[in-house]
Structure formats: C-alpha cells, structure tokens
C-alpha cells in the first residue's frame, strides 16, 4: 500500500520520538571525535618531541638542575596519550619501562628511556655517561611520532583509552611506583586524567545521547580528582612531590579513580564498539 | 526437675539449626564449586601461568573469534602480558600483581601472534590463531559501517593536515604579493596549488566556496576582466600573464580568507564511505576527460603536472586507507588499483624536472593523451572498490 506523505510523516514521527532516546550511535558520528583525537595526540606528540629535545640537551650539557626540572613536565605529554603510545610495544618498553621489567635491574643494557634517566638524575644525582641514553630517547620519541602519523586509529582503542588511562592511574599512580626516584607522580597522574577527560569530552555528545546521567556522574568524579590534585599544585604550574600527599588525600583519590575506571570501561559498549 | 534440663523443643531446634548449617555449608561448597567450574569451563578460559623466567604454556593455539585468557602471576613481581601483532599491541593487561590473576578478553583474527610474558628479557611465546568457518565467512563478507570509522577518521585527519598546509602556503603567497615580489610570488604559487589539489576531490563538494577558490576565467561573462573573477586563477593570471601585482593584493587576501573557511567546512562535512571513493574517481575523471588534454586549468603558468601529482597523492591516500579491507576480501581489485596507481605515477614522474615538473606547454598532444589514459585507467580501477566492499549498500 502506498502511504500518503502525511501518514509517512506521522509514522516516522511516532517511530522516531520514543526510539531516538535509545537509538544506537551511528558509526559515522564517531568519525569526528576519533579524528579529533588523532589531531590531539599528534599535537601532544609534537610537544613531547620538542620538550624531550630540551630535556636531553640539558642532560647532555651536564646541567643536572635543569634536567631534573624538565623531567616531569616532559613526560606528562607521554602520559596523556598513553593509550596510543603503548600500542607500540617495543617503543613503550624503550621509552617508559620500569626497572622491574628488567631482570638485571638498573644496570640492564635494555633499561632505557625516561625512568632510566630518572634513576641517574634523581637517585644518583648525576648526568655522567647518559649521552647515549639521551640520544636514544630522542630517537625513540621521533620514531613514535612517525609511527603514530601512519597509524589508522582503531576506534575501540580510542574510546577504550579513557578507561585504560584510569586503570593506569589506579595501578601505578596511587601507589607512587611510576616515578619512584623523582616522586613526580602527580604530573603523570594529572596527565593520565587529562588524557581520559579529553576522550570523554570528544565523545560527550554521542554518550549524552545514550545516557545523560552517566556523563554527569563521570564529570563529578573527574571534578573530585581534579580538586584533590589542585591542592598540590605549585606556583610554577607544577606539582609537589608525591611523598607530600597526605594519607587522607591518597585514600580520597582511590574511590573516584576506581569508579571512573569502572564507568569509563562501559563507554565502548555505549558507543557500539564492543 | 532440674532447672538446667533443656526442654525437648530446644533439642529439636538445636539439632535443626546444626542440620541447617550443614546443609548451608554443603550448598555453599556446591555453589562455589559450580562457580569455579563455570569460571574454568563455561567461559573456556585459557590459563597462562607466568613464572619468573617463562610462561606456561608458551605456545598457544586457539580458534579465531573471542578468547579469554586467565593470566596467573606466579612470579615475584608485577608483570604485564601482551598479545602482539608485529610490534603492535592487540590486547594487553598491565600490572598483574604477584600471586593474583587477571582475565584478558580478545577477539582474534586468524594468524600468528607473539606474546610477551613478564620481564622484557623473557622469551616471547607464540599464539597461533586458526581459521574457523565463521572467520572464513567473515573474511569474505562485506565490511560493516563500523569498519569504516577508522579509515574515514584518518581521511578527516588528512583533510585537516592538508588544509593547514594550504592556509600556510596561501599566507606565504599573500605576503609575497603584498610586498610586490613577483619572482617569489610565482615560486610560492606552486606549493599553494599542490596543497589545494590534494584537497580538490573533497573541496569540489562545496560548490560555491570552491568556485571562489578555483574557478577559471571562462565561467565569467567578461572573463579575465570580470570583477567577479577571483581566487587562484585570477592570481595566476596576474603572476604569469600580466606579470603585474598592482591590483591583486585584495584578491590574495580574499583567497586566504576563503581557504581558511574551506578548512572549517571540510571538517564539518560528513563523508559516507561511498563518497570517499566517489570523490577521488570524479576528480580523476575530470583530469582524464578535461584537464589533461587541454591544460586549461593552469593556462597561464602551465604548472598542470604539479596539480596532477597532488591529485594522485590523494588517490593513493584513499587506497591506502582501504587497503586492509581490500586485501582481506578483494585482493584482485586491490592488485588492479595498485597497478593503475603505479602506472599513473610513473607516467607523471617521466616529466619531472630539477625543480618540480616540466612546463605543460612542453608536453605534446600524444603525451597528454597518455596521461589522460593512465588517469582514466586509475579511475576505472577505483570504480571497482565500491562493489567489492559494498560501499553503496551500507
């Protein structure tokens, strides 16, 4: 039966109104946020590359004070884009592995990257013999830049990245294990949180369409975490060392961080990417 | 009667509660066993033990599809376990605490993967994923809309990057014109055109704005003398024909404003998968049918080859974005397209000079016909992508 335009309009209207609230996200609506995320990651990597250059220049010049000062503000760019950076297992190991990942500990030949430099700069308080490590870090970061440029971002890794960042916070930041020599964990902490918040912000319209209450809850927990972190900001825009963080604040961070990790892990499902 | 004697009812109650406790205990034991059995069997978990220096088992074979791995850390340190495709992480679980276990769920395609276990120096394991009837069928099936989110996002990034390059090049051209430096302005016209030509397939969807940027004099009543004639070709006319920059500073400024708007509009428009291929085919067809033969596009500067090469780059970009999908289900179509791209590239490369490409007025009619034929062959080969991937049916 041929429908009159009016009947068609009414049917469409009736079908549309109640359904739209539950309709799945159209895949094409994800193109904007996924590509904007790649642009964000690319910008952060440009920053990482130029800051790494300055940081390693200071190391090679033997300027211990400057190298120590630049260590944390340089790393933060890596931390904010970790869901993409850690897709490249070899570079993630050479840039960001911890001493525990290496059988022979700090003296292991393959222990390189930020945390190996951190060990010399903060535990040994020395810049001696670090030239090769400094050059290697620069090269690895540039390599990461060109590999990310050639990578088609898998949408499920982008959306899943928000939860991955919060799991990272829960597992490595609250314990203070990541920056064990410099105790600059709060920089990384903020970097992880900002990176996760960016992903939520990019997909906000699509998630709100599915579940407004979810977004409100996530926002509230982000605000709680940010508020606690803000207490430890220093005048130069940096952060106090992690040993200064009071016990009650460490405890107060656990709840919202775990809830965020749990909630954000549902984003993939909400956007039809499971 | 002793007061300590317990009434019989209490005996029964005590006996009853003991029985209940035994029953409850039994039920609990039964339930927890069932739960353990479920964890082990119903989800088909594959248990991997991480020892201090190795994983056990270290060689895994699983059928394609969803698989669950329970990683048990039997070493003394927090460890990570990853499934790697080359150097790329497919799935991973970090910071598994000593003595604890975690589950990794992965949806695996057939193929051979490496697995890392614990210390970076520990030997890597292997994961062999065997094809199944379902994975064979999935490989042959046309991709779903979700599969295009990655490639379309990457194309939108390409548009963003190339638009920024165009704005930068137009800014430099604008400065050279404003300062009256003819030689510099002529030199800067070329990179600006190349940047535009990389965007041309997408820009041509924006009819009005694109006309302001790229219209030829023929479209205007008074041709070159028409006050409405603006954009690149009006500048080209001043730079290469009139060789006079007196009146064109406002035109260069307007071009800069228009390409800035172009970036915003390109990023705002949604491009469905069939258009991703369709816009490139249209662009190649216009090259083959009009631009190559006549050299009308760059009639004052004869820099046509500079633009053709930029068009070819975008065609290659689109093919590369669809390559993973094509190689899976339509290897023959991909082989045709790759051959046609390389033929077209070789054809254009034959006209390379020390500083770019030879002037198009030095390219003979027969050579122009060859360029057109290669562009047409590429357009035809790329026309095969839509039916192969089912783009129009999405």
A-B interface: how many C-beta pairs under 8 angstroms?
Answer: 92
In a domain, B37, yes or no: no
pLDDT interval class at B18 (50, 70, 90): low
Last residue of a domain, one of B228, B251, B270: B270
Q: What is the distance between the alpha carbons of residues B162 and B168, in angstroms, rounded to a whole number? A: 10
Contact (Cβ atoms closer than 8 angstroms) between residue B98 and residue B76: yes
Question: Do residues B309 and B241 share a domain?
Answer: no
Mean pLDDT of B208-227: 95
Decide which of B253, B270, B287 is a domain's last residue.
Answer: B270
> Are B282 and B384 part of one and the same domain?
yes
- Beta carbons of A28 and B272 less than 8 Å apart: yes
Q: Could you give the count of Cα atoms lying within 13 Å of B124 in the half-sphere of its Cβ? A: 16
The 8-class DSSP code of residue B364 comes to: -
What integer pLDDT is reported at residue B28 of this predicted model?
56
Q: What is the mean pLDDT of chain B?
A: 90
Among B131, B163, B196, the domain boundary falls at B131
Question: What CA–CA distance (Å, rounded) separates B324 from B331?
Answer: 10
Domain presence at residue B297 = yes
The predicted structure's pLDDT at residue B15: 64
Q: Are residues B280 and B308 in the same domain?
A: yes
B164-214 pLDDT, tens digit per residue, is: 999 999 999 999 999 999 999 999 999 999 999 999 999 999 989 999 999
In our burial notation (b when 16+ CB lie closer than 10 A, e otherwise), range B89-105 reads bbbbbbbbeeeebbebe
Pick from B92, B94, B150: CB nearest A153: B150
B231 plus B311 within the same structural domain = no
Based on the fold, state whether residues B285 and B378 are members of the same structural domain. Answer: yes
B262-283 residue pLDDT tens: 999 999 999 999 999 999 999 9
Clarify whether residues B87 and B109 are in a common domain: yes
- Partner-chain residue, chosen from B87, B149, B270, that has the shortest CB–CB distance to A89: B87
pTM to 2 decimal places: 0.84
ipTM exceeding 0.90? Answer: no
What is the nearest CA distance from A61 to chain B, expressed in angstroms?
A: 31
- Phi then psi for B204, rounded to 5 degrees? -70, -10
One domain, residues B227 and B306: no
Answer whether residue B285 is part of any domain. Answer: yes
Residue of A101, A109, A157 to mutate, interface with B, max B Cβ within 10 Å? A101
Is B153 in the same domain as B247? yes
Q: Nearest by CB to A100, which of B78, B154, B160?
A: B78
Strands B59-63 and B125-130: parallel
Q: What residue in A sits closest to B317 (Cα-Cα)?
A: A150
Determine, yes or no, domain membership for B212: yes
Domain total in chain B: 3
List the CATH number of the domain containing B78: 2.60.40.420
pLDDT, position A167: 92
Residues B254 and B321 in one domain: no
- The residue of B153, B265, B269, B323 whose CB has the most chain A CBs within 10 angstroms, and thus the best one to mutate to test that interface, is B153
> What is the model's pLDDT at position A126?
97
B22: pLDDT strictly greater than 80: no
B19 belongs to a structural domain: no
Does residue B26 fall inside a structural domain? Answer: no
Residues B265 and B294 in one domain: no
Note the pLDDT tens digit of each residue in B323-371: 999 999 899 999 999 999 999 999 999 999 998 999 999 999 999 999 9
Token pair listed for B29: 């034991």
CB B316 within 8 A of CB B337: no
Question: Residue A176: its pLDDT value, please?
Answer: 86
pLDDT for res B25:
60
- Helical segments of B237-294, H only: 249-268, 273-286, 292-294
The shortest C-alpha distance from B86 to chain A (Å) reads 9
Quote the pLDDT of residue B92. Answer: 86
Asked whether residue B279 falls in the same domain as residue B263, the answer is: no
d(CA A245, CA B208): 59
In a domain, B7, yes or no: no
Q: Give the per-residue pLDDT at B37.
A: 41
Residues of B with CB under 8 A from a CB of A: 53, 77-78, 80, 82, 84, 87-89, 92, 94-95, 116, 119-122, 144-146, 148-154, 156-157, 160, 270-272, 321, 324
Residue contact B87–A91, C-beta within 8 A: yes
Closest partner residue to B150 (CB to CB) among A28, A88, A154 is: A154
What CATH number has the domain bearing residue B332? 1.20.1420.20
Q: Interface of chain A against chain B, CB under 8 Å?
A: 26-28, 30-32, 34-35, 38-39, 42, 86-93, 97, 100-104, 108, 110, 152-155, 167-168, 171-172, 272-273
Q: Which of A152, A167, A172 sits opposite B154 (nearest CB)?
A: A152
For chain A, 274 residues long, give each residue's pLDDT as a single digit of tens.
444 555 544 444 444 443 444 467 899 999 999 999 999 999 999 999 999 999 999 999 999 999 999 999 999 999 999 999 999 999 999 999 999 899 899 989 999 999 999 999 999 999 999 999 999 999 999 999 999 999 999 999 999 999 999 998 998 888 888 899 999 999 999 999 999 999 999 999 999 998 999 999 999 999 999 999 999 999 999 999 999 999 999 999 999 999 999 999 999 999 999 8
Note whether B272 contacts A155, CB cutoff 8 Å.
no
In a domain, B4, yes or no: no
Question: CA–CA separation, B381 vs B327, rounded Å?
Answer: 15
Residues B110 and B178 placed together within one structural domain of the fold: no
**Min Cα separation A208/chain B (Å):** 20
Q: What percent of chain B has pLDDT over 70?
A: 89
User: What integer is the mean pLDDT of B27-54?
Assistant: 65
Q: Say yes or no for a CB contact (<8 Å) between A88 and B151.
A: no
State the residue range of the domain holding B359: 272-389
Ramachandran category for residue B215: left, alpha or beta (phi over 0 → left; psi -120 to 50 → alpha): beta
Chain A residue at shortest CA distance from B271: A28
Q: How far apart are CA A121 and CA A167, in angstroms?
A: 28
């Amino acid at each position: 039966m041929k429908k009159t335009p009016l009947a068609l309009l009414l049917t469409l209207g009736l079908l549309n109104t109640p359904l739209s609230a539950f309709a799945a996200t159209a895949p094409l609506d994800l193109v904007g946020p996924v590509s904007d995320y790649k642009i964000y990651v690319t910008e952060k990597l440009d920053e990482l590359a130029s800051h790494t250059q300055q940081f390693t220049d200071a190391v090679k010049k033997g300027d211990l004070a400057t190298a120590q000062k630049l260590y944390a503000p340089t790393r933060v760019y890596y931390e904010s884009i970790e869901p993409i950076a850690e897709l490249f297992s070899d570079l993630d190991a050479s840039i960001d592995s911890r001493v525990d990942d290496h059988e022979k500990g700090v003296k292991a030949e393959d222990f390189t990257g930020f945390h190996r430099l951190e060990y010399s700069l903060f535990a040994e308080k020395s810049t001696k013999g670090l030239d090769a490590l400094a050059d290697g870090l620069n090269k690895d970061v540039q390599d990461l830049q060109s590999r990310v440029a050639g990578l088609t971002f898998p949408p499920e890794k982008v959306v899943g990245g928000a939860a991955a960042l919060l799991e990272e916070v829960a597992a490595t930041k609250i314990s203070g294990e990541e920056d064990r020599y410099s105790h600059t964990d709060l920089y990384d902490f903020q970097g992880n949180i900002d990176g996760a918040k960016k992903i939520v912000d990019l997909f906000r319209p699509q998630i709100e369409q599915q579940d407004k209450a979810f977004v409100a809850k996530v926002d509230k927990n982000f605000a709680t975490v940010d508020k606690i972190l803000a207490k430890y900001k220093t005048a130069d825009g940096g952060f106090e060392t992690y040993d200064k963080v009071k016990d009650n604040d460490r405890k107060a961070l656990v709840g919202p961080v775990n809830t965020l990790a749990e909630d954000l892990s549902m984003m993939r499902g909400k956007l039809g990417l499971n | 009667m002793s007061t300590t004697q317990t009434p019989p009812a209490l005996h029964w109650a005590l006996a009853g509660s003991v029985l209940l406790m035994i029953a409850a205990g039994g039920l609990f034991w039964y339930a927890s066993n069932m739960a353990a059995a479920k964890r082990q069997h119903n989800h088909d978990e594959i248990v991997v033990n991480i020892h201090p220096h190795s994983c056990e088992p270290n060689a895994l074979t699983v059928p394609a599809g969803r698989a669950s791995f329970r990683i048990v850390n039997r070493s003394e340190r927090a460890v990570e376990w990853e499934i790697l495709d080359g150097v790329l992480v497919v799935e991973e679980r970090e910071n598994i605490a000593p003595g604890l276990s975690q589950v990794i769920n992965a949806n695996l395609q057939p193929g051979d993967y490496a697995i890392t276990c614990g210390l970076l120096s520990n030997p890597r394991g292997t994961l062999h994923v065997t094809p199944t009837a379902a994975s064979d069928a999935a490989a042959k099936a046309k991709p779903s809309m979700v599969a295009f989110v990655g490639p379309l996002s990457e194309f939108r990034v390409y548009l963003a990057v190339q638009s920024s390059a165009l704005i930068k090049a137009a800014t430099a051209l604008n400065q050279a014109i404003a300062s009256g430096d003819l030689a510099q302005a002529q030199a800067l016209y070329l990179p600006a055109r190349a940047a535009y030509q990389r965007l041309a397939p997408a820009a041509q969807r924006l009819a009005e704005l694109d006309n302001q940027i790229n219209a030829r004099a023929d479209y205007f009543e008074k041709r070159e003398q028409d006050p409405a004639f603006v954009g690149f070709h009006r500048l080209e006319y001043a730079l290469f024909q009139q060789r006079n920059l007196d009146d064109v500073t406002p035109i260069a400024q307007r071009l800069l404003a228009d390409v800035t708007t172009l970036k915003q509009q390109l990023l705002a428009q949604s491009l469905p998968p069939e258009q991703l291929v369709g816009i490139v085919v249209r662009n190649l067809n216009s090259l083959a049918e009009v631009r190559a033969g006549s050299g009308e596009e760059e009639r004052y500067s004869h820099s046509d080859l500079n633009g053709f090469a930029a068009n070819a780059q975008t065609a290659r970009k689109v093919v590369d974005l669809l390559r993973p999908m094509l190689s899976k289900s339509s290897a023959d179509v991909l082989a045709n397209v790759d051959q046609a791209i390389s033929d077209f590239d070789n054809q254009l490369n034959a006209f390379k000079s020390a500083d770019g490409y030879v002037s198009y007025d030095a390219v003979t009619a027969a050579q122009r016909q060859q360029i057109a034929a290669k562009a047409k062959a590429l357009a035809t080969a790329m026309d095969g992508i839509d039916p192969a991937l089912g783009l129009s049916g999405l």
